[in-house]
Amino acid sequence: MPAHTDKSSSDTAAATVPSGPAFTFRRMAGLDQALLSTDAEWQNLGKLDPKLWMALSCPIHGLEFDAQTLALLDVDNDKRIRAKEILDAVAWLCQRVSHPSQLRERRAELPLALLREDTPEGASLLAAARLVLDKTDAADRTQIDRHQTAIALNAAAGYAFNGDGIVPSTSVEAQDASGEAVRHFILTGLKVVGGMRDDSGTPGLDAALAARFREVLHEVLQWRQKTHEAELPLGRDTDEAWSLMQRLGPKIDDYFARCRMAAFAPQTLPALNEENEIGLQESAEAGLFSMEHLGRRPLARIAAGQPLDLQAGINPAWEKDMRAFRRLFEAVLPLTKDGQSSEDAACSLDEDTWHAIQNRFTPYATLLAQKPDFSRAPEDATPFNASGQPPLALAPADDPLGRAFLPLNPEEVVDKLSDADLDALLSTDTEEAFDFYVKRDLAAPRMDAMRDLEKLILLHANLYTLLMNFVSFADFYKPGNKAIFLAGTLYLDSRSCSLCVHVDAVDAHVRLATQSHLCLLYCLCVRKGSNGEEQTATIAAALTAGTADDLIEGRHGIFVDNAGQVWDSTLLRIVRNPITLREAMWAPYIRFANLVGEQLHKLVAAKDTAIADASSKLAGSVTEGKPEAPAKAPPAKQPFDIAKSAGIFAAVSVGISMVSASFTYIAKSLFSLGWWWPMALLCVFIVISGPSMVVAWFKLRRRSLGPLLDASGWAVNTGAPINFTMGGTLTAVGEMPPGAQRSLDDPYGLPARLGHSRTRRIAVSILALLLLAAAGLGGYWAWKGEAPSWIKFWQSATSVTSTSGGKGVEKSGQSNAAKPASPEAPGKAADKAQQGKDTTANSPAKEASPSEAKQKTGDQSQDSKNADDKGSASTTDVQSKAGAAQAPSSEAAPTPKPASILEALVPGAGSAPAPSAAQP
């Protein structure tokens, strides 16, 4: 029992395994690409799931592929290649080739050993290939190429017999009576039933169409025999009389109908005769007397109960036909003048006589209805004219008899044939002679086999390439191969873009191609042809390396197509998307630099515009001759006041100090981390560039070829992604060739410029001025014994700025203002004042008045002028005073007002200081 259970389970598992061919796939750029590497895969390609195909259809234009092969595959001539047509071509190939997997070699020559001998199709092509090799006297009889087949086809076009079973009139040897009869049979058959197209393109008859022609002739001959046996109303004139009745019948019926209406309503007589319309037409220029105009009028003048007079009062447009009617029907018309029957005798036709004539021709009309019908070409058919051939028209593709040509007037041709001609065409000798020519043609090698051989050679060379760009995109993803949808290479901005596709309409293409997330360059390409005619084309190129900062619309480059032809290209439009992660990494800094540059440009442009406007106004006032307003008297020049300028200098110093302090703080913070400062710097860099790189990474991962091809008319089944590695191969950046030698001797570089006399003189002059200024400064310092006042002012401003920021106090640790007050503070301050010799200590517990603070400030300024080393002491005193003024006091109730920065820097800028014994 357990053994039985295992057997059934194994059978069930085997039954669930899907039966079918095993296809070979290769992973490329994240996709599985079918390779079709075995014969079984080719023979069972129809069983491959269509959802695994890369494309389902593509246009035949804009492809770098053999045009003749595309025309052979496009069976329905809709200018597109679809999956069904691919499968039909592969099935047709497998019936004639023993090992279809050998098509992967993509050879232009077809080995004869590859043709199958076990199928009729393969054996026919093998015989045709050997015939072509014989006709072309080929040295290598083991393979055949496209050129040899073309030569054989051109030679076979002039053969009288080509194996298709169709005999044109030009293939008949008209040297004897039988040949002439066959030739007359073929030409008459073409005029009556049409013809087939011979492999040479000439119309002819095959056995089936010739049999149809003989059937028609038998029907015509039988109908004529019935006509001869029937009783004709007017004998030999019956045909002419019937044709005349077909023309005059409607007009005679109209005449009698109008006469009956006139008897019924006499008041309508003017309208029945159309007198009003004739009265309005008084000029012959209006067409009143034209035969076309008169032919639409009544046959004769209308009167109630009046018979039709066949001689007088007839409409001029119908007068000739009425004379013929009187001549043919004279025997049945009543005489109106004493029984006379002369030609001048007036006769008339009443309505009863007219009905009697019609009834007399009724049997003949029935006999005519039995006449065989003939199919003729429609009026809108395309005419066909060839030398030595009757006029014909091209037949539609769905002709029931499979004809290629249709007759134009078969009835007239048959009516002109006499009974003797019908007997000659239907003779046994003519039929046997025609059958002999048909058999002779069938014995010759067929041109269809040569055409199939040419088709097989084309598929052998090109079908695998199409499959690797349709079933899979292996040619696009495999390095070294070139896809058929790539148009060429665009060279622009020191780069070459190999992913270029043809574009029909730029706007429509952009709407869909934007979804590919590729940076696309749309270019108009122009070149002169060999005949001097200008050729234009539009392409879209994918940019996957470098940056697009220097690319603007209108920039020129060159485009080299796959045939090696060079086109001048002009950039029309740019679809901007991330190109590389490197570009995204530097993008924030570039944007910041561009922003700063734009703002500076706007500022300079605004100033330039203001100057230009002022100049324009001034020029306008001078041109118009208006007297200028008297210039205002310039204000009196004020003497230079250091007190007023100190604030400006201090503000500038504060700004510079703040920027310097910021960078110093950042640098100190980084270096305070020790050896971790590179990591901190890296973190700052990541914070700035990270978001841009992350966004670019997501977009670069979504780059796809599918939308780009969809915009060009393809029906891509999958996305066809382009990863980072492959994207780098689609655009090449210019670089030095291997082994190149590079010289740094730039004729326009700085070393070269310093070698020029003019540049050298300028550099020497600047250096001499700097040395002279330094010598003068040193001499002044040595003579006066102190630094210049502007240097001391700059030093004081820098110290005060640092003290006002609080950073100098915190860093030096010399001031006790930030510390809590203590009883020992006054004593310590006194010791510092004694050590500094010119510094007065301020304790938080001691109360100081504003006048005393100003006096101490004046003393400090005077001391700084007398000693060079007292500048720093003055700065320390200012810092101490600022700290003491800001520190809270727990003992003294009133807080002294601190000295201002201006009072601390400039002597005499504030109120006059109190006299001090410390001054010399």
146-156 helix and 120-136 helix, angle to the nearest 10 degrees: 80
Residues whose CB falls within 8 Å of the CB of residue 768, separated by 6 or more in sequence, listed in order: none
Determine the Cα angle at 475 with ends 474 and 478, to 5°. Answer: 75
Residue 757 has φ and ψ, to the nearest 5°, of -65, -45
pTM over 0.95: no
238-264 helix and 319-328 helix, angle to the nearest 10 degrees: 110
| Other beta carbons less than 10 A from residue 157's beta carbon | 14
CA of 721: how far to CAs of 335, 371, 557, 574, 682, in Å?
101, 71, 28, 21, 32
The per-residue pLDDT for 685 is: 82
**CA 77, CA 81: separation in Å to the nearest integer?**
9
Q: Where are the alpha helices (DSSP H) in 142-295?
A: 146-156, 177-193, 207-229, 238-264, 269-272, 275-280, 291-294
Determine the Cα angle at 568 with ends 565 and 574, to 5°. Answer: 120
Question: What's the residue count for the chain?
Answer: 920
The per-residue pLDDT for 760 is: 67
**CA 249, CA 354: separation in Å to the nearest integer?**
9
Domain limits, the chain: 29-158+446-477, 166-230+374-441, 235-277+289-337+345-369, 488-585+700-733
The per-residue pLDDT for 453 is: 93
Amino acid identity of residue 474, one-letter, is: A
Residues whose CB falls within 8 Å of the CB of residue 140, separated by 6 or more in sequence, listed in order: none
**CA 588, CA 460: separation in Å to the nearest integer?**
55
CA of 732: how far to CAs of 44, 127, 736, in Å?
40, 51, 12
**CA 443, CA 163: separation in Å to the nearest integer?**
6
- Could you tell me if 574 and 521 are in contact, meaning their C-beta atoms sit under 8 angstroms apart? yes
Residue 506 has φ and ψ, to the nearest 5°, of -65, -45
Q: Running along the chain, 920 residues long, what does each successive block of 10 average in pLDDT? A: 42 46 84 90 92 93 92 92 94 94 93 93 90 86 91 77 86 78 93 90 92 92 83 81 88 91 88 70 54 82 87 86 86 56 60 88 84 85 89 90 92 89 92 91 80 93 95 91 93 93 94 93 92 91 89 93 93 92 84 81 81 79 56 53 53 63 72 76 84 86 92 90 88 86 75 65 80 76 68 60 46 40 41 41 39 43 42 40 40 43 41 40
CA of 684: how far to CAs of 592, 666, 677, 678, 694, in Å?
16, 11, 11, 10, 16
**CA 530, CA 524: separation in Å to the nearest integer?**
20
**CA 523, CA 690: separation in Å to the nearest integer?**
33
CA of 289: how far to CAs of 13, 295, 317, 318, 879, in Å?
97, 10, 10, 13, 128
Nearest to 551, CA basis, from 514, 577, 527: 577
Instruction: Identify the bridge partners of residue 33 per DSSP, sorted by sequence position.
Output: 26
- Could you tell me if 444 and 161 are in contact, meaning their C-beta atoms sit under 8 angstroms apart? yes
> Could you tell me the two tokens for 238?
């019956």
> Could you tell me the two tokens for 451?
């055409």
Spell out a b/e string for 61-88, using b for 16 or more CB atoms within 10 Å of the CB, else e: ebbbbbeebbebbeeeeeebbbbebbee
Determine the Cα angle at 380 with ends 375 and 381, to 5°. Answer: 60
3-state secondary structure 650-676: HHHHHHHHHHHHHHHHHHHHHHCCHHH
The per-residue pLDDT for 809 is: 38
Q: Where are the alpha helices (DSSP H) in 375-479?
A: 410-416, 419-425, 428-443, 447-467, 474-477
CA dihedral 630, 636, 642, 646 (to 10 degrees): -30
825-836 helix and 870-886 helix, angle to the nearest 10 degrees: 160
What is the sign, positive or negative, of the torsion defined by CA atoms of 389, 392, 398, 401? negative
- Could you tell me if 193 and 212 are in contact, meaning their C-beta atoms sit under 8 angstroms apart? yes
| Chain centre distance of CA 63 | 13
**CA 460, CA 295: separation in Å to the nearest integer?**
69
What is the sign, positive or negative, of the torsion defined by CA atoms of 881, 887, 889, 894? positive
The per-residue pLDDT for 800 is: 55
The position carrying tokens 């799931």 is 49
Nearest to 578, CA basis, from 734, 690, 703: 703
**CA 445, CA 160: separation in Å to the nearest integer?**
11
- Could you tell me if 383 and 393 are in contact, meaning their C-beta atoms sit under 8 angstroms apart? yes
**CA 793, CA 904: separation in Å to the nearest integer?**
11
| Chain centre distance of CA 903 | 76
CA of 262: how far to CAs of 258, 266, 271, 301, 502, in Å?
6, 5, 10, 11, 77
- Could you tell me if 526 and 568 are in contact, meaning their C-beta atoms sit under 8 angstroms apart? yes
- Could you tell me if 450 and 153 are in contact, meaning their C-beta atoms sit under 8 angstroms apart? yes
CA of 581: how far to CAs of 69, 578, 761, 834, 913, in Å?
43, 8, 47, 67, 68
